[in-house]
Amino acid sequence: MNTLFYLAAAVAILATLLVITRAHAVHALLYLIVSLLAAALAFFLLGAPFAAALEVIVYAGAIMVLFVFVVMMLNLGTHSVRGERQWLRPAAWVGPGLLAAVLLAELVYVLGGWSAPATTPAAIGPREVGLALFGPYVLAVELASVMLLAGLVGAYHLARPQKEAEGEA
């Protein structure tokens, strides 16, 4: 079972690495979906089946479909892929990559030397999550609903036809 977790982790990291190096947006999106599915498997193995299901439905389903729709609406041609390749020169990514690698090395050093006892996690199913969500965390649910409403209003406002907006103003 442990092997499954490490395999899923390797797939997630490899797919994310491919996401950030692709020139074509659709290829990157497909690799990101693979990465999210691997993360969902890791959630399931960690004893969080409800979070795993939501990862597949909301992240890999809804959010990625939104990205795919936007990429389709933008209708990017081959010239954008060529421009993207031109932008992705080693001079552009070596500096940030090195700095991030230093940060990762520090994290590996800190977390590697820290031996927290590994407990066998019991699965926390949707029942416990739901009871906690609508018990002590009910205010967080309200805040999330307000935030989603704000996102809806903001997206509607930004996507309004422009002529109409100028006429009203």
Among 9, 30, 34, 56, binds another protein (CB under 8 A): 9
Q: Which is nearer to another protein, 159 or 169 (CB)?
A: 159
CA 150, 33, 13, 40 torsion: positive or negative? positive
Q: 79, exposed or middle or buried, with CB in 10 Å at 0-12, 13-18, 19+? A: exposed
In the complex with another protein, which residue's Cβ is closer, 85 or 167? 85
Total number of residues binding another protein (CB under 8 A)? 86
Distance CA 32, CA 148 (A): 23
- Beta strand segments in 18-132, E: none
Q: For the stretch 96-116, what's the b/e string if a residue is b when 16 or more beta carbons lie within 10 angstroms of its beta carbon?
A: eeeeeeeeeeeeeeeeeeeee
For residue 51, count CB atoms less than 10 angstroms from its CB and return exposed for 0-12, middle for 13-18, buried for 19 or more: middle
CA distance 8 to 16: 12
Can you tell me which of 139, 155, 164, 167 binds another protein, judged by CB under 8 A?
A: 155
Q: Which 92-151 positions form the footprint of another protein (CB under 8 A)? A: 92-93, 96-97, 100, 103-104, 107-108, 111-112, 114-124, 128-129, 131-133, 137, 140, 143-144, 147-148, 150-151
Q: Which is nearer to another protein, 91 or 167 (CB)?
A: 91
Shortest approach of another protein to residue 169 CB, angstroms? 15
Distance in angstroms (rounded) separating the CA atoms of residues 29 and 60: 10
Contact flag: residue 165 with another protein (CB under 8 A): no
Q: According to the binding rule CB under 8 A, does residue 39 interact with another protein?
A: yes
Residues 57 to 96: which contact another protein by CB under 8 A? 58-59, 62-63, 66-67, 70-71, 73-74, 76, 80, 83-84, 87-88, 92-93, 96
Residue 50 contacts another protein per CB under 8 A: yes
